[in-house]
Structure formats: C-alpha cells, structure tokens
C-alpha cells in the first residue's frame, strides 16, 4: 500500500565542469541509489550532464556531442527501473541552443522542457514555442504536465524561472501538476539560502503542491561563481526534507510526498480551479508500495515543535480568543461574563481568556463572575485550585453546590443515587449549566463556554449541558494546545498565579462526575475512557483536514508515536475515534459561536458540515 505517497529525490552531484563522460557516471550512480530507495521521481541540477558553468564552451561541438552521447546512455540506463528522471542538458535544435530538462523513463527520452528566462551571458536561447529536436526525435516545450501514476502529475521549471513575477510553476499547478521540480544552478550569495527556502515554501503553498529543488554542487563553482548544492523538498508551505549545502560528496535528498493530501486540499479550496491548457504526457510508473521511511510525521500537529514558534503560536491564539470575546461583550453591551470554574484545564483557559478580554475593554476583573459548583465527584485538589485561581486573578467568586439540587432531581425522576450511570453523570452537567445560564440572565452577563475542540470531536460533553453557552472561547482549540496555552500564560504570570496554573496542568483530565477514590483523588479519568488526547488530536487534524483513511491514519500514527504507543493501542483508539466522531455530530450541529483560531474547526457554520446520521461502517 502506498498510503497516497510517492517518493521523490533531489540530487546535488559531485560533477566535473565540461566533462559529460565523467558526469554521466555520477548520474547513473544517483539513479542506482534512488532506485534502491524506491524513489519514483529523481531530479538533478540544471545542466547536470555538462555542468552549468561552461560558458562559451556550450557552443563547441565536442561538448555538445559528448552531452548528447551521455544523455542517450543515461536514458538507456533507466530501462526497466520504474523511475522518472529529470536531468539537465543543453540541446541544439533549429540552429539554436536551449537549456533543457530531459524527461526520461524506462529507457526513453519522453520530452525536453526548456528554460524560459534568459540565461546569463546569453548562452542559451529563450524558448517561446514548441520545437522539434531532430537529433532526439522528440519535442522541446516550455510548459507540459506529466502524469507519473494515478493521482500524481509533475511540472518542470528551471533555475531562475521560479523567481520571476509569473513563474511557470503557477500555471503548471493550475494545469494539474501537484509536484513541481526545479533543476537549478544559481550562485550562492549571502542570505540567498533563506530567500531560496522562503521562495520554495511560498511556491508550494501557492500552488498547493510539492516542490522539489535540486541545485548545482560546490564542484561546479568556478571563476566568480560559487554554488552550494542546495536540495529542498517542500509540501504545501512546509519544508519536509533538506540536504546539506557545500557537501564534499554527492547528496541525495529523499522525501515521501503526500499527493493524496495535496489533491484533497485542492478539492477543498474553492479558489483553486484547474485549467485545460496543458497536454498531459502519460509516463505510468508503478507506485504500489511506500513504507513512509522518508516522510516526517508530526505527532502533535496543532503544536509547533520549536519552542520559539510554539510560544508565538500560543500568543497569537490567545490574542484571537480574547479579541473575539471582547467583541461579543462589547457588541451586546454585556455588563460582564459568567464562567463555571472547575479547576480543570478548559475552564482555566476560558477564565484566562476572559481576563485578557476585560483588559482589552478596560473593565475591572470583578466584572467576571467565576462560579465553582462542587458536585459528587469534586476533589479537594480541583476545588482549591478553582478558588485560588479566581482569587489570584481578582474575579468575583461564587460557590454554589449542586449536590442538594441533584439529589432532589433524582428523587423527582425516581433515580436511585446509588446507580452511577449516564443519568447520574449528565444530570450534574445540566444542573451546572442551568445555574450558569440563570446567573448570566440575572446579572446581565454573558455565559462563556469552556469546552474544547477535542471534546466536541469525541462527543465528550453533555448535550444541553456543558456543550451549551452564549459564546465558546475554546471551541476550535484542541486539548493538546489548551495545555500549551495555559503554560504560556503561566510563564508570563506572577509567581502565585503561576504555581496554581502549573498544578492545574499537572492534574489528570476529568469531568469529575463520579465520586473520588478512597484516597480522595480523581477516579474518573477521561483518557482511560476514550483514549489519549494526543492521539485523538492527531486523528482529528489529519481526518478533518485531509480526509485520510483509517489505514493511512494508522500508519502515520505508528510512525509519529513510535516508542510511545504500539500499533494495537493505536488501532484500538482509532476505532474509538471514528465511532465517537460520527455519532457525536448532533452535538456539534448546535455548537455555540466562538472564535476560529486555526485551520481545523468543527463549526457547522461553514467549517464542518456533516449529517448527524452518517454511517461510519465504511470508515472503519
């Protein structure tokens, strides 16, 4: 199974300038290594057969003849190798010389793609239209899309082509190419590396495609020119593989490109419309298997791995949450807000966001009414943390026990308090929600909801209970990110508040609807019931954004969580995820307004529309 992946490689080769006989052997070795690694698309640098810095030697017959012989030998070498090779070569045709990429597979030169922008010193002609190269009995073109296998189409641009105002890759992407390859030989300059990385990332994001960049190595440096051998593979705005620059040997940078993901993103982008301007060229490689060996997989896709980037993400998300809440409070003319404070992560984040919103509005913290509502499962730890946090932040503190009201309610509906079933649990959640709504009405306040994205996805909330509010600040924030947001605020808080927040972070996630254990500690732990949130957030991100199959989610998770969870554990909770995600849509269909903070949201108002009665059988 290929899991919607295809393996690509960018080569930077230890070449000799103006020595095709030597260079062809290096290219053949790169082919061997690529084939051994099950690479399907191999890209060499610009003019790799001759070297890119030959100057006026390109006009000489000995070099042109040697390049032709080397190219024909390289083409023959690919026979029966199940790989498509893009190799740089000068091609003479119609009395002119063109800087080309030869498109080679199964022993044949399929076509040449010529560079569109003018080369330095005017050595090569700019190609304006298709030309027949009689020597090779094939065409030189400037824009063509090659169908490599089902779901994979490749377009080619050369060197500086991708830096112009309207690069060929833009039109190639609109012509169907979901992989763009660039054969380059640009000189290295100060700050050029960062500019190149940014350009590759932007091109892959703009075209919703993968971008494979192969640069000439340091061995092509000559006279005033120094090359670095940059090799990059980007996918939809992210660098997924990068080779060493200034290496003293040939470099082969390999990556597994998720073409299925790219195709899905294109389908979901209403502004991306394919044109029919390009003639597709079918190459038809076999791509039946991929082990994801060269595929980076993030275990926590909602949280950047880099500490600085993570802090920046938290700062931005927190600002969006607070700004959204401040706008709603201002719009309705609310006197303040009401929040149920449990001493858990979600209500803590909602409280912190509310405090920031009040700062934005210039209102006192006392206009926030924090209400803690101890029930049958409340532990001393969460109860004390709830009170301590509210006092530390200076909000108005209210305590309303729900025990007597719940006992009366159980008596009214003839429910035995000894039966700790779903009625026993949900009744407490609904009682708390009723108190919060009524207190909001009484004081003219806005009820701020606390439930997060992960709970909505898994249906781990009580219908007409904690999934109801007047504005939900955490509705598009997954549980894994909630932790980092609380930690972010802890790091910028005073010592007293920080200590409370750190203890909350260390508390097991629980709805606390069942009595504590005999030691007074939390007995009902959410992740024991529905599985680890870090796994579910991984599933949520990849299923909602890219529509992956269960098999693909399983394989990706096995790689992402290698050494953390075995494949049987992943499979178990993946099954739970799909079932709970599907049967819980009715809870999401009526979710309240709340700020959207990221690319994944389950709001039924345009982000995730799904029938509440959809079957999950074909998904598991």
For residue 219 the two structure tokens come to: 């061995």
Q: How far is CA 221 from CA 188, 225, 600, in A?
A: 10, 5, 46
Instruction: Please report the pLDDT score of residue 123 as a whole number.
Output: 81
> Which single residue is written with the structure tokens 């060269």?
294
Q: Is the pLDDT of residue 120 over 60?
A: no
| Tens digits of residue pLDDT in 433-447 | 999 999 999 999 999
Q: What is the pTM of this model?
A: 0.92
For residue 224 the two structure tokens come to: 């005033």
Q: What is the mean pLDDT of residues 114-137?
A: 81
Q: Is the pLDDT of residue 275 over 80?
A: no
Highest mean pLDDT among 154-163, 504-513, 556-565: 556-565
Q: Is the pLDDT of residue 305 over 70?
A: yes
Distance CA 511, CA 514 (A): 8
Would you place residue 117 in the very low, low, confident or very high pLDDT band (cuts 50, 70, 90)?
confident
Instruction: Please report the pLDDT score of residue 127 as a whole number.
Output: 81
Instruction: Please report the pLDDT score of residue 491 as a whole number.
Output: 96
Average pLDDT, rounded, for the chain: 94
Q: What is the mean pLDDT of residues 140-144?
A: 88
Instruction: Please report the pLDDT score of residue 561 as a whole number.
Output: 98
> Which single residue is written with the structure tokens 């600040």?
473
Would you place residue 187 in the very low, low, confident or very high pLDDT band (cuts 50, 70, 90)?
confident
Instruction: Please report the pLDDT score of residue 279 as a whole number.
Output: 65
Q: For the chain, give the percent of residues with pLDDT over 90.
A: 84
Instruction: Please report the pLDDT score of residue 524 as a whole number.
Output: 84
Instruction: Please report the pLDDT score of residue 272 as a whole number.
Output: 83
Distance CA 257, CA 263 (A): 12
* DSSP assignment string, 174-210: HTT-SEEEEEE-PPP-TTHHHHHHHHHHHHHHHTTSE
Distance CA 449, CA 158 (A): 53
Q: Is the pLDDT of residue 534 over 90?
A: yes
Lowest mean pLDDT among 61-75, 184-198, 408-422, 553-567: 184-198
Instruction: Please report the pLDDT score of residue 119 as a whole number.
Output: 61
Highest mean pLDDT among 186-190, 352-356, 512-516: 352-356
> Which single residue is written with the structure tokens 């054969």?
183
Instruction: Please report the pLDDT score of residue 118 as a whole number.
Output: 67
Instruction: Please report the pLDDT score of residue 356 as a whole number.
Output: 98
Q: Are 205 and 174 in contact (CB under 8 A)?
A: no
Q: Is the pLDDT of residue 419 over 70?
A: yes
- The sign one gets for the Cα dihedral 106, 108, 110, 114 is positive
Instruction: Please report the pLDDT score of residue 540 as a whole number.
Output: 98
Eight-state DSSP code of residue 121: G
Cα angle 411, 413, 417 (rounded to 5 degrees) comes to: 50
- Cα dihedral 554→559→564→570 (10° resolution): 0
Q: What is the mean pLDDT of residues 210-229?
A: 90
Q: Are 9 and 253 in contact (CB under 8 A)?
A: yes
Beta bridge partners of 511: none
| Tens digits of residue pLDDT in 453-476 | 999 999 999 999 999 999 999 999
Which residues fall within 8 angstroms of residue 481, CB to CB, at 6 or more apart? 302, 303, 313, 314, 317, 537
Q: Supply the angle between the helices 533-546 and 550-560 in degrees, to the nearest 10.
A: 130
Instruction: Please report the pLDDT score of residue 600 as a whole number.
Output: 95
Would you place residue 598 in the very low, low, confident or very high pLDDT band (cuts 50, 70, 90)?
very high
Length, in residues, of the chain: 620
Instruction: Please report the pLDDT score of residue 427 as a whole number.
Output: 95
Question: CB 358: neighbour CB atoms within 10 A?
Answer: 24
3-state secondary structure of 580: helix
Q: What is the mean pLDDT of residues 249-253?
A: 96
Distance CA 105, CA 140 (A): 16
For residue 240 the two structure tokens come to: 């997924």
Instruction: Please report the pLDDT score of residue 162 as a whole number.
Output: 84
Q: Is the pLDDT of residue 231 over 70?
A: yes
Q: Is the pLDDT of residue 121 over 70?
A: no
């Amino acid at each position: 199974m290929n899991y919607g992946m295809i393996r690509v490689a960018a080569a930077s080769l230890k070449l000799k300038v103006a020595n095709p006989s030597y260079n062809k052997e290096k290219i053949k070795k790169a082919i061997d290594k690529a084939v051994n690694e099950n690479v399907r698309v191999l890209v060499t640098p610009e003019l790799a057969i001759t070297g890119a810095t030959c100057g006026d030697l390109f006009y000489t017959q000995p070099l042109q003849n040697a390049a032709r012989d080397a190219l024909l030998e390289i083409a023959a070498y690919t026979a029966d190798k199940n790989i498509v090779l893009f190799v740089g070569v000068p091609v003479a045709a119609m009395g002119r010389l063109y800087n080309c990429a030869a498109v080679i597979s199964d022993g044949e030169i399929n076509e040449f793609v010529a560079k569109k922008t003018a080369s330095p010193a005017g050595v090569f002609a700019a190609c304006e239209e298709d030309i027949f190269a009689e020597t090779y009995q094939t065409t030189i073109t400037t824009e063509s899309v090659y169908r490599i296998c089902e779901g994979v189409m490749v377009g080619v641009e050369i060197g500086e082509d991708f830096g112009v105002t309207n690069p060929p890759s833009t039109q190639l992407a609109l012509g169907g190419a979901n992989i763009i390859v660039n054969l380059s030989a640009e000189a290295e300059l100060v700050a050029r590396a960062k500019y190149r990385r940014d350009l590759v990332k932007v091109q892959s994001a703009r075209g919703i495609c993968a971008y494979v960049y192969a640069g000439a190595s340091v061995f092509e440096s000559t006279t005033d020119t120094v090359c670095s051998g940059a090799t990059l593979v980007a996918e939809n705005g992210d660098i997924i593989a990068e080779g060493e620059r200034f290496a003293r040997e040939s470099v082969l940078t390999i990556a597994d490109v998720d073409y299925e993901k790219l195709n899905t993103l294109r389908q979901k982008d209403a502004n991306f419309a394919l044109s029919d301007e390009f003639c597709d060229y079918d190459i038809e490689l076999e791509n039946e298997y991929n082990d994801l060996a060269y595929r980076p997989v993030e275990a926590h896709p909602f949280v950047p791995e880099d500490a600085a980037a993570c802090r920046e993400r938290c700062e931005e998300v927190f600002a969006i949450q607070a700004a959204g809440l401040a706008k709603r409070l201002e719009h309705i003319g609310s006197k303040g807000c009401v929040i149920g404070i449990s001493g858990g992560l979600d209500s803590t984040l909602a409280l912190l966001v509310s405090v920031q919103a009040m700062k934005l509005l210039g209102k006192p913290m006392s206009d926030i009414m924090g209400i803690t509502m101890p029930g049958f499962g409340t532990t001393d730890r969460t109860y004390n943390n709830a009170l301590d946090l509210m006092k530390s932040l200076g909000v108005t503190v209210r305590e309303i026990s729900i025990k007597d009201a719940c006992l009366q309610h159980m008596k009214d509906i003839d429910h035995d308090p000894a039966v700790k079933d779903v009625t026993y649990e949900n009744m407490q959640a609904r009682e708390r929600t009723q108190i919060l709504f009524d207190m909001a009405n009484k004081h003219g306040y806005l009820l701020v909801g606390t439930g997060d994205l992960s709970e909505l996805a898994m249906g781990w909330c009580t219908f007409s209970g904690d999934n109801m509010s007047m504005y939900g600040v955490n509705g598009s924030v997954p549980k894994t990110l909630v932790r980092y947001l609380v930690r972010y605020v802890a790091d910028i808080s005073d010592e007293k508040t920080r200590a409370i927040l750190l203890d909350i972070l260390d508390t097991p996630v629980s709805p606390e609807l069942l009595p504590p254990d005999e030691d007074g500690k939390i007995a009902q732990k959410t992740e024991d019931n529905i599985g680890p949130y870090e796994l579910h957030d991984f599933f949520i991100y990849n299923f909602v954004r890219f529509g992956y199959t269960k098999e693909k989610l399983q394989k990706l998770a096995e790689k992402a969580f290698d050494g953390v969870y075995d494949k049987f554990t992943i499979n178990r909770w993946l099954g739970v995820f799909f079932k709970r995600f599907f049967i819980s849509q009715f809870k999401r269909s009526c979710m309240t307004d709340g700020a959207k903070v990221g690319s994944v949201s389950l709001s039924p108002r345009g982000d995730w529309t799904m029938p509440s009665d959809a079957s999950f059988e074909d998904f598991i």
